């Protein structure tokens, strides 16, 4: 299915002497609600991954994550991370090595309150896991585990941090399995791909987006609230008489990356996808745009600040999309927003 064009929002020409670039991940606070209990009809095909297998897969992934973090060595992620998760973790470990500090590496709890198993008999296939709230009050995270073929390992494909107090949809019991849906599945209010395309537009354009009425109010969506605040702060930071600058942000589905969807008990779907966010800032000649976050400083090591500054982020999102015929809005379940690149000039 053809994706919608990239979305672009350009701010007025304004001015400033320096500019802060977003920290690698925005922390969420509070705890997500427990996943609801479901009593769906069992799938005829049964689960594609046994309970013991899913537990073993998660344990092996956690072992790899721990070893790679201890060594700050992205090469150790091979074979157990893929897709956007690999891109984000690789960048985080590179930043950790540059800073000689792991405090910006996302902590993924290794205990789980729910496993969501696919029923598909073909490949690729995806399973999901929801972590518990830890003793250190780490909020729950939703993980997507992807297997490309029968001979491949399940690999960590993406993770998101669930919104505080989020009401998760119900899924089939893991002994029955849940149906996977194609990106163009028409049994939903919007196809999974269309929902992701619309959400990308919403992040960039906020209340000016043509799709704003298809989603829950912005006050109930932490990612949209954050992005609106961030864009506004960037614009204000560029105001002044000493620099005549511009700020542009672009949000789009990640190239060559699938949109994943799994059926919920009510006929809707949980959708996971990866987006790329790009920022470009340019001031008048002689001005200096200086990054002020630890991640940006590490990514820009060896580059001399000047009047141009660009930043790239990998965004992992999880949405709930209602069934076809429903007027209920699409809801954000969770997200991860991590800076993975920065450049000057």
* Average pLDDT value for the chain: 86
Q: Is residue 261 a contact partner of residue 270, using CB atoms and an 8 Å limit?
A: yes
Can you tell me the mean pLDDT for 208-232? 97
Q: Is residue 129 a contact partner of residue 116, using CB atoms and an 8 Å limit?
A: yes
For 208, other C-beta atoms within 10 Å of its C-beta total 10
Q: Which residue has the tokens 């790899």?
A: 64
339 located within any domain: yes
Q: How far is CA 23 from CA 68, 88, 104, 116, 239, in A?
A: 22, 13, 9, 31, 21
- Total domains in the fold of the chain: 1
28 located within any domain: yes
61 located within any domain: yes
Which pLDDT band holds residue 241 (cuts at 50, 70, 90)?
low
Model pLDDT, residue 244: 76
2 located within any domain: no
- Strand pairing category for 180-181 and 246-253: unpaired
Secondary structure of residue 59 in the 3-state scheme: helix
Q: What is the pTM of this model?
A: 0.85
298 located within any domain: yes
Q: Which domain holds residue 66?
A: 7-344
Judged by average pLDDT, the poorest of 40-49, 272-281, 286-295 is: 40-49
Any idea what the Cα angle at residue 336 is, between residues 330 and 338, rounded to 5°? 140
Judged by average pLDDT, the poorest of 2-6, 87-91, 142-146, 147-151 is: 2-6
Model pLDDT, residue 21: 31
Report pLDDT digits (tens) over 101-113.
999 999 999 999 9
Model pLDDT, residue 221: 98
Per the model's pLDDT, the better-predicted residue between 74 and 32 turns out to be 74
**CA-wise closest residue to 260 among 251, 278, 273:** 273
Q: How far is CA 279 from CA 128, 241, 289, in A?
A: 31, 22, 13
Distance CA 247, CA 232 (A): 10
- Of all residues in the chain, the percent with pLDDT exceeding 90 is 69
Report pLDDT digits (tens) over 126-162.
999 999 987 777 789 999 999 999 899 999 999 999 9
Report pLDDT digits (tens) over 11-66.
333 333 333 332 223 333 334 445 554 444 444 445 555 566 788 999 999 999 99
Model pLDDT, residue 34: 53
282 located within any domain: yes
Which pLDDT band holds residue 338 (cuts at 50, 70, 90)?
very high
257 located within any domain: yes
From the number of C-beta atoms within 10 Å of its C-beta (0-12, 13-18, 19+), residue 149 rates as exposed
1 located within any domain: no
């Amino acid at each position: 299915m053809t994706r919608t064009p990239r979305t672009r929002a350009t701010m007025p020409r304004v001015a400033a002497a320096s500019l802060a670039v977003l920290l690698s991940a925005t922390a969420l606070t509070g705890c997500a609600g427990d996943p609801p209990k479901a009593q769906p009809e069992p799938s005829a095909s049964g689960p594609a991954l046994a309970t013991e297998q899913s537990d073993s897969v998660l344990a092996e992934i956690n072992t790899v994550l721990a070893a790679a973090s201890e060594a700050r060595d992205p090469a150790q992620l091979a074979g157990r991370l893929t897709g956007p998760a690999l891109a984000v973790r690789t960048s985080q470990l590179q930043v950790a090595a540059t800073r000689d500090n792991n405090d910006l590496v996302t902590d993924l709890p290794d205990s789980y309150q729910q496993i969501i198993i696919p029923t598909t008999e073909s490949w690729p296939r995806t399973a999901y896991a929801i972590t518990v709230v830890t003793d250190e009050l780490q909020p729950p995270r939703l993980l997507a585990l992807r297997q490309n073929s029968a001979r491949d390992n399940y690999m960590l494909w993406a993770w998101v941090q669930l919104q505080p107090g989020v009401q998760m949809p119900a899924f089939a019991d893991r002994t029955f399995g849940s149906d996977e849906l194609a990106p163009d599945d028409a049994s939903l209010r919007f196809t999974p791909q269309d929902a992701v395309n619309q959400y990308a537009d919403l992040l960039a354009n906020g209340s000016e987006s043509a799709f704003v009425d298809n989603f829950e109010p912005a006050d109930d969506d932490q990612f949209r609230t954050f992005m609106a605040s961030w864009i506004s702060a960037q614009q204000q930071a560029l105001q002044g008489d000493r620099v005549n600058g511009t700020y542009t942000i672009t949000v789009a589905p990640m190239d060559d990356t699938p949109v994943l969807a799994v059926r919920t008990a009510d006929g809707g779907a949980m959708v996971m996808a990866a987006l790329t966010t790009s920022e470009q800032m340019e001031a008048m000649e002689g001005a200096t745009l200086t990054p002020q976050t630890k991640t940006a400083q590490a990514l820009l090591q060896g580059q001399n600040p000047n009047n141009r500054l660009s930043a790239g982020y990998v965004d992992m999102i999880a949405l709930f999309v209602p069934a076809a015929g429903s007027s209920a809005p699409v809801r954000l379940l969770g997200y991860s927003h991590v800076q993975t690149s920065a450049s000057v000039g």
